[in-house]
Amino acid sequence: MHHGSACISRSAAILTLAFLAFVTTPVTAPAKELPDEFSATYEVEAYGMVLARATHTVEHTENGLAMEVYTRPAGLATLILDDEVVIRADLESNNGQLLLVNYDYKHTGDKKGRNDHFRISWNNDQEKELSGTATGIYKGEEFNMNIDQPLYDPLSVQALIITNAGKKIEPQEYGLFLKGELKPYLFENHGKEKIKFNETEYTALKTAVKETDRDRVIYVWMIPELKNVPIKYERWKNGKLQSTVLLRSVTFEENGRTKTLDFAYDEEDFE
């Protein structure tokens, strides 16, 4: 494991804690298409070292899906941070679509802290166009927003990335609720790509998520043999790699049995 300078800015490290939740997709998924349940552990690398470790869980519910990410600092980042970030998203079936209905974001450990949340009430009339109302609190401010299109947060859209990874979809521009507002992103499926992971070569499905007004892009790689659970994320800015997220363990059901796969990592990074 490579180690760089210990002089990491607090703001950069905090941004890294939330990186796992920042992926998106432009297409709604039919409610019958759900990702498999799984629990996975990831590590976030930047500046030549591991800065955070995160646990991502996906569970089926009676009406849809529940997703959660719990992130803590790791390695040298623990010298300057004692933060925790917990993000939860709930999705439900509505007239054949899987729609976000609940979002909670809690950041503790720093001086300010955050406790954002919003709820979405969707109409249930099949004869009318989709519409709903989102109400909640963002950075202590109440908001109320009428919406006429599917709305996802940076966590819930990962369910759609997984279910749509192998589809042939033309690049499209869609909005994502981020930092208190809807922002446009361009989604592209890049098809299959050979990737070496944990000293094994896989044929992965690659997805790119691009900001429309700035040179920012996130690449996501998924392996069909692992239920399309993302194995790697890369965040690029102005043509330069900023940070990487790597899968370190995953547990899922296969043929009625629980299967756990562990990938090599340095325990010293997670003390």
pLDDT tens figures, 89-106: 999 988 778 899 999 999
- Output the pLDDT for position 12: 46
Structural domain total, the chain: 1
Confidence of residue 113 (pLDDT cuts 50, 70, 90): confident
Predicted local distance difference test score (pLDDT) of residue 38 = 95
- What length is written for the chain? 271
218 in a structural domain: yes
> Is residue 5 situated within a structural domain?
no
pLDDT at res. 55: 96
| Contacts with 64 (C-beta within 8 Å, 6 or more apart), sequence order | 31, 34, 90, 91, 92, 93, 98, 101
The model's pTM is 0.82
Q: Give the pLDDT band (50/70/90) at residue 11.
A: very low
Report which of 223, 229, 231, 235 is spatially closest to residue 248, judged by C-alpha positions.
231
CB atoms within 10 A of CB 95: 14
Given pLDDT bands bounded at 50, 70 and 90, which one contains residue 265? low
Tell which wins on pLDDT, 184 or 144: 144
Spatial separation of the C-alpha atoms in residues 269 and 271, rounded to whole Å = 6
DSSP 8-state code for residue 162: H
Q: Is residue 82 in some structural domain?
A: yes
Question: Does a structural domain hold residue 174?
Answer: yes
* Domain span holding position 244: 10-248
What whole-number distance in Å separates Cα of residue 247 and Cα of residue 239?
24
Q: Is residue 223 part of a domain?
A: yes
Any domain includes 181: yes
Reply yes or no on whether the pLDDT at 120 is more than 90: yes
Q: At residue 50, does pLDDT exceed 80?
A: yes
184 lies in some domain: yes
> What are the tens digits of pLDDT across the range 146-196?
888 777 887 888 888 888 888 887 876 766 777 767 777 788 899 999 998
Residue 148 included in any domain: yes
Instruction: Tell me if 78 sits within 8 A of 52, measured CB to CB.
Output: no
pLDDT above 90 covers a percentage of the chain that reads 44
